[in-house]
C-alpha cells in the first residue's frame, strides 16, 4: 500500500526503504497511520510479530519530524524493563538515522543514565513506576509538558491489575502537566473486548479508533504427549527439545524450577527464565537464546511478552495454559519469518488433553478472554492520596475533589473516600490542622523511608527476600514463607542448588552459597496454578456436547479424548449447572458439573458451604464440585435449594460471606481496617460482579442417578 507511505516525511521514507527495504506498509500500519494522524486515541490489536510496534512508531515519528518542537515528544510505556531493553534497539534503528533521539529510563539503568542535560530525548522509554519517579522531579518533569503521544505496549498486561489503574492516573496527570489532551496509543496482541479496553484507555476524552487486524492464515503444527508418569513425561520432553531451539513454558515459577532440575544434564545449553530471577540471570538466558548455537529455555509468562527471541524451532507447553490469551502469546513465539508454528503439549491426564483442545478451538474461532479492570482500586487510591499529602499540606475538600476527579476512581463514592480518610486520621496516618491534612507520624514511619520512595510503585514486594551471595551478587528472590520455613535448608533457584546460610529479616535479605545437596522444592506465594478460564471451560463443555473435537487428532489422542468425554454424563454441556447424586465409599456425594471456570467454581463452593451449613464439605475443580455432608435424605433437593439461595445473594452479602485473602498481595493494605480491607478488596479479588452475572441466567438441572460415573474431570 503506497497511499500512506508516499505521504511520510522524506527522511522516514529513506529509513524505511534504504535501511529496512520497505516500500509499502502492512495493513495494520496503514490503518494505524490514518487513525493516529487524525488525532484519535487508538488501540491497535494485531497478532504477535504482526508489526504493531511499527504501526505506532511510524505515524508518531512522521508527526514529530514534520512538526518538530523541544521537549519529550513521545513516551513509550511498557510493563517490563526487559521489553524496554529489547525495543530500544528497534526504536533506535528507526529514529537515530533521522536525528531523533531515544532514551530508556527504568530501575536497571544506572542512576547517571536516568537524566539528561540540555536537550531531552524525543522518545523516552519508561515503566509506570519510573514515570512516577520522573513526575516527582521538578526540573526534568517540565520537559514532559511538550509530550504529544503516549504509546502503551502490551496494554492487556496492565488492564486487570493495580498497575493498570496507576497507569491511568499517570496519563491523567500528564494531561494536567501538558495542559491538553495527550494522544494515547495502545498496543496489544489479544483482547476479548477491545472496544471496552479502548474506552478504558481513552476515558472518553476525545475521538477514539480501534485498529484490529486478523492474523493472516498460516500453517500451524500441534503435537500432544499424554503421559501420567513424570519420569516418562520428562524423557519425552527431552526427545522433543534435543537439537532444537526451544521455549518450554510452564505455568508457575516453582514448576519451572522443578522441571529445570529434572532436565539438568539431559539437555544441552539449558537455561531458566522467570520473574524471581535476577536481571543478570534473565539476560544471560535471553543472550544464549539469540546466539548461533541457540538454547532451550524453561520459562513462565515472562517470555510471553513482545521480547524478540528470534527464530526458534518449537514451543513446548507443559500442561495447558490457564487462558487462551496466554496460549496465543506463547504460540506467537514460534512460526516467525515464514516458518510454520510448531507447538508441543506435554500433558499428564486426558482432562488436560480436553482443555488443550478447547484452547486451540477458541484460538481458531478468535475467541479470547474479556479483560475486566478493577472496580474498587483502593490500593492505588491510597498511593495517590499519600503522594499528594507528602508534597505539602492539603485541604480536605481539595484532596477529595482531586482524587474523585480521576476516572480510574469513578467506582468509589465520596462517602467511602471520606470514611477512609477519617480512618487514616484515627490511626495516625494523617494529621489534621483544622481542614488541612498532612502525613501523620504513622505514615512517616511506614511510608516515609528513603524520601517516600515506597509510594512510587503499587507492586507488593514485602513478601519476598532477596537472595544474595556473600560477594553481593544477586541471585533472585524467594518467598518469605518459604525462607521462614526452610531457613537453614537448601533451595533451588535459577536451576542451581543453594544453601541458605544467613537471613537478615531487617533488610529482607537471605545469604546463599552453592550446595551439592538435593535442594528443596521452592515455592512462591501465588505461584500455583490458578485453573482454567471460563472461556476454556465453556468450550470444553461444548466439546463434550459435540462428543468430539474439530482438531485433526491422531488415533491414539482421539481415543484418549473419547474416553475422557465418556466419563462426563451425556446430558452435561457448558451452559448451566448439572447436579447428580452417587455413592462413594459408602457415602452420599452430590456432584455439580460446572463448566464456567475454576475461579467461578471456587467462589460457588465457598458460598455453597455457607448455604448448606457447617457440616457440609465442598471441593471444587475446573469442571466439577463435590458436596458431602449435605444430609442423608433429599440431598439433591437440598443442594439445588442451596444453589438457588446462592443465586439470591446480593453482592454485599457475598462479600460478607467470602473469606478475606492474605493482605500482603496489596502493598498498602496494612493501612486499612479489617472492615475496610474486606469491603475494598473482595469485589475485585473474587470478581463478584462477574460471578453474579454468570450465575443469574444459569439453569440448574438434576441428572438421573443412572448417568455414567464421572472420572477425573476436575
Q: What confidence tens digit (pLDDT) does each residue in 182-212 have?
A: 999 999 988 899 999 999 999 888 889 999 9
Question: Residue 156: phi, psi to the nearest 5?
Answer: -60, -25
Q: What does R_g of the chain's alpha carbons equal in angstroms? A: 27
pLDDT in tens, 249-285: 999 999 999 999 999 999 999 999 998 898 889 888 8
Full strand arrangement of the beta sheet holding 436-439: 394-395, 436-439, 430-433
Q: What angle do CA 411, 132, 100 make, to 5 degrees?
A: 120
Q: Which residues contact 362 (CB under 8 A, 6 or more apart)?
A: 324, 368, 535, 536, 539
pLDDT in tens, 40-93: 999 999 887 778 899 999 999 999 999 887 789 999 999 988 889 889 999 999
Find the helix or strand (DSSP H, E) in which 604 lies. Answer: helix 598-612
Give 317's strand partners: 249, 345
Which pLDDT does position 287 carry in this prediction? 85
Interatomic CA distance for residues 440 and 506, integer angstroms:
23
Q: Do domains 220-364 and 378-456 have the same CATH topology?
A: no
Q: Which residues of the chain have pLDDT under 70?
A: 1-2, 306-307, 310, 336-338, 461-463, 486-488, 518-521, 523, 525-529, 585-586, 706-714
Domain 378-456 is found in CATH 1.10.10.10? yes
Distance of CA 631 to the CA centre of its chain: 42
Pick the CATH number of 568-702 from 3.30.1490, 3.30.1360, 3.30.160, 3.40.50: 3.30.1360
Q: CA torsion angle for 138, 142, 147, 150 (degrees, to 10)?
A: 0
Interatomic CA distance for residues 187 and 41, integer angstroms:
11
Dig out the grid coordinates for 165 from the structure: 489503574
Interatomic CA distance for residues 354 and 348, integer angstroms:
11
What is the Cβ-side half-sphere exposure of residue 94, based on CA atoms within 13 angstroms?
A: 24
Using CA atoms, how far residue 204 sits from 57, 62, 527, 565, in Å, is 23, 26, 37, 47
Superfamily the domain 220-364 falls into: P-loop containing nucleotide triphosphate hydrolases (3.40.50.300)
Interatomic CA distance for residues 138 and 121, integer angstroms:
17
Full strand arrangement of the beta sheet holding 220-226: 220-226, 341-347, 314-318, 246-249, 296-299, 270-273
Find the helix or strand (DSSP H, E) in which 284 lies. Answer: helix 279-290
Give 102's strand partners: 123
Cell 514515570 locates to 131
Interatomic CA distance for residues 396 and 434, integer angstroms:
9
Q: At what angle do helices 414-426 and 378-389 cross, to 10 degrees?
A: 60
Interatomic CA distance for residues 253 and 301, integer angstroms:
9
Q: Is 702 exposed, middle or buried (0-12, 13-18, 19+ CB in 10 A)?
A: middle
Top CATH class of 5-212 equals alpha beta
SS3 state at 219: coil
Interatomic CA distance for residues 163 and 185, integer angstroms:
17
Full strand arrangement of the beta sheet holding 496-504: 474-479, 464-468, 509-514, 496-504, 490-493
Interatomic CA distance for residues 498 and 443, integer angstroms:
38
- Other beta carbons within 10 Å of 308: 15
Distance of CA 552 to the CA centre of its chain: 31
SS3 state at 186: strand
Contact 703, 580 (CB under 8 A): yes
Interatomic CA distance for residues 250 and 273, integer angstroms:
11
Dig out the grid coordinates for 532 from the structure: 482454567
Interatomic CA distance for residues 149 and 39, integer angstroms:
10
Contact 203, 168 (CB under 8 A): yes
Find the helix or strand (DSSP H, E) in which 430 lies. Answer: strand 430-433
Beta-strand ranges (E) seen in 463-605 are: 464-468, 474-479, 490-493, 496-504, 509-514, 577-584, 587-594
Using CA atoms, how far residue 374 sits from 159, 184, 186, 412, in Å, is 8, 20, 18, 11
Interatomic CA distance for residues 5 and 10, integer angstroms:
10
Dig out the grid coordinates for 594 from the structure: 460446572
Which pLDDT does position 465 carry in this prediction? 85
What is the Cβ-side half-sphere exposure of residue 396, based on CA atoms within 13 angstroms?
A: 16
Using CA atoms, how far residue 26 sits from 213, 216, 447, 667, in Å, is 10, 12, 49, 43
Q: What angle do CA 33, 34, 37 make, to 5 degrees?
A: 75
Interatomic CA distance for residues 267 and 254, integer angstroms:
19
- Other beta carbons within 10 Å of 473: 11
Q: Where are the domains of the chain?
A: 5-212, 220-364, 378-456, 464-514, 568-702
Query: Quick one: DSSP state of residue 663?
Result: G
Amino acid at each position: 500500500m503506497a497511499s500512506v507511505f508516499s505521504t511520510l516525511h522524506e527522511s522516514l521514507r529513506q529509513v524505511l526503504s534504504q535501511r529496512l527495504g520497505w516500500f509499502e506498509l502492512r495493513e495494520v500500519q496503514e490503518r494505524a497511520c490514518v487513525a493516529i494522524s487524525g488525532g484519535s486515541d487508538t488501540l491497535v490489536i494485531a497478532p504477535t510479530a504482526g508489526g504493531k510496534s511499527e504501526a505506532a512508531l511510524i505515524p508518531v515519528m512522521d508527526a514529530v519530524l514534520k512538526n518538530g518542537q523541544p521537549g519529550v515528544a513521545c513516551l513509550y510505556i511498557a510493563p517490563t524493563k526487559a521489553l524496554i531493553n529489547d525495543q530500544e534497539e528497534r526504536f533506535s534503528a528507526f529514529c537515530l538515522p533521522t536525528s531523533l533521539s531515544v532514551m530508556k529510563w527504568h530501575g536497571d539503568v544506572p542512576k547517571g543514565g536516568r537524566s539528561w542535560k540540555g536537550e531531552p530525548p524525543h522518545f523516552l522509554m519508561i515503566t509506570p513506576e519510573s514515570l512516577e519517579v520522573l513526575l516527582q522531579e521538578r526540573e526534568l518533569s517540565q520537559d514532559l509538558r511538550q509530550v504529544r503521544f503516549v504509546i502503551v505496549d502490551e496494554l492487556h498486561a496492565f488492564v486487570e491489575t493495580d498497575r493498570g489503574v496507576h497507569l491511568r492516573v499517570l496519563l491523567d496527570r500528564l494531561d494536567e502537566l501538558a495542559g491538553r489532551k495527550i494522544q494515547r496509543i495502545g498496543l496489544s496482541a489479544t483482547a476479548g473486548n477491545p472496544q471496552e479496553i479502548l474506552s478504558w484507555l481513552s476515558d472518553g476524552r476525545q475521538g477514539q479508533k480501534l485498529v484490529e487486524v486478523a492474523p493472516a492464515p498460516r500453517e500451524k503444527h500441534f503435537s500432544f504427549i499424554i503421559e501420567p508418569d513424570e519420569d516418562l513425561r520428562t524423557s519425552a520432553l527431552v526427545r522433543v527439545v534435543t537439537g532444537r531451539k526451544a521455549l518450554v513454558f510452564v505455568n508457575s515459577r516453582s514448576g519451572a524450577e522443578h522441571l529445570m532440575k529434572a532436565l539438568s544434564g539431559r539437555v544441552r545449553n539449558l537455561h531458566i527464565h522467570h520473574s524471581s530471577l535476577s536481571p543478570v540471570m534473565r539476560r544471560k538466558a535471553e543472550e544464549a537464546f539469540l546466539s548461533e548455537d541457540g538454547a532451550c529455555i524453561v520459562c513462565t509468562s515472562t517470555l510471553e511478552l513482545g521480547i524478540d527471541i528470534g527464530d526458534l524451532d518449537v514451543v513446548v507447553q507443559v500442561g495447558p495454559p490457564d487462558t487462551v490469551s496466554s496460549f496465543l502469546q506463547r504460540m506467537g513465539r514460534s512460526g516467525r519469518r515464514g516458518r510454520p508454528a510448531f507447538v508441543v503439549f506435554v500433558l499428564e491426564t486426558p482432562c488436560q488433553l480436553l482443555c488443550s483442545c478447547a484452547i486451540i478451538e477458541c484460538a481458531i474461532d478468535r475467541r479470547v478472554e474479556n479483560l475486566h479492570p478493577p472496580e474498587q482500586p483502593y490500593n492505588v487510591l491510597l498511593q495517590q492520596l499519600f503522594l499528594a499529602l507528602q508534597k505539602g499540606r492539603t485541604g480536605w475538600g481539595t484532596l477529595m475533589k482531586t482524587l474523585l476527579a480521576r476516572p480510574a476512581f469513578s467506582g468509589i463514592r465520596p462517602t467511602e473516600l471520606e470514611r477512609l480518610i477519617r480512618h487514616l486520621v484515627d490511626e495516625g496516618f494523617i494529621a489534621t490542622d483544622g481542614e488541612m491534612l498532612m502525613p501523620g507520624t504513622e505514615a512517616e514511619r511506614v511510608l516515609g523511608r528513603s524520601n517516600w520512595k515506597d509510594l512510587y510503585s503499587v507492586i507488593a514486594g514485602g513478601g519476598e527476600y532477596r537472595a544474595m551471595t556473600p560477594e553481593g551478587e544477586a541471585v533472585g528472590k524467594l518467598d518469605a514463607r518459604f525462607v521462614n520455613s526452610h531457613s537453614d535448608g537448601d533451595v533451588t533457584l535459577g536451576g542451581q542448588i543453594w544453601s541458605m546460610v544467613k537471613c537478615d529479616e531487617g533488610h529482607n535479605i537471605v545469604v546463599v552459597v552453592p550446595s551439592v545437596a538435593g535442594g528443596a522444592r521452592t515455592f512462591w506465594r501465588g505461584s500455583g496454578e490458578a485453573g482454567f478460564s471460563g472461556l476454556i471451560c465453556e468450550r470444553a463443555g461444548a466439546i463434550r456436547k459435540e462428543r468430539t473435537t474439530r482438531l485433526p487428532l491422531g488415533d491414539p489422542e482421539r481415543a484418549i479424548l473419547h474416553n475422557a468425554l465418556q466419563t462426563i454424563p451425556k446430558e452435561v454441556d457448558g451452559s448451566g449447572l448439572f447436579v447428580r447424586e452417587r455413592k462413594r465409599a459408602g457415602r452420599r456425594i452430590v456432584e455439580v458439573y460446572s463448566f464456567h471456570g475454576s475461579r467461578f467454581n471456587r467462589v460457588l463452593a465457598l458460598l455453597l458451604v455457607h448455604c448448606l451449613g457447617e457440616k457440609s464439605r465442598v471441593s471444587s475443580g475446573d469442571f466439577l464440585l463435590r458436596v458431602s455432608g449435605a444430609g442423608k435424605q433429599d440431598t439433591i433437593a437440598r443442594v439445588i435449594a442451596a444453589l438457588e439461595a446462592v443465586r439470591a445473594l446480593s453482592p454485599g452479602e457475598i462479600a460478607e460471606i467470602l473469606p478475606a485473602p492474605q493482605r500482603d498481595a496489596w502493598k498498602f493494605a496494612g493501612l486499612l481496617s479489617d472492615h475496610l480491607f474486606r469491603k475494598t478488596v473482595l469485589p475485585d479479588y473474587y470478581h463478584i460482579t462477574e460471578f453474579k452475572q454468570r450465575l443469574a441466567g444459569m439453569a440448574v438441572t438434576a441428572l438421573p442417578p443412572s448417568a455414567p460415573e464421572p472420572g477425573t474431570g476436575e
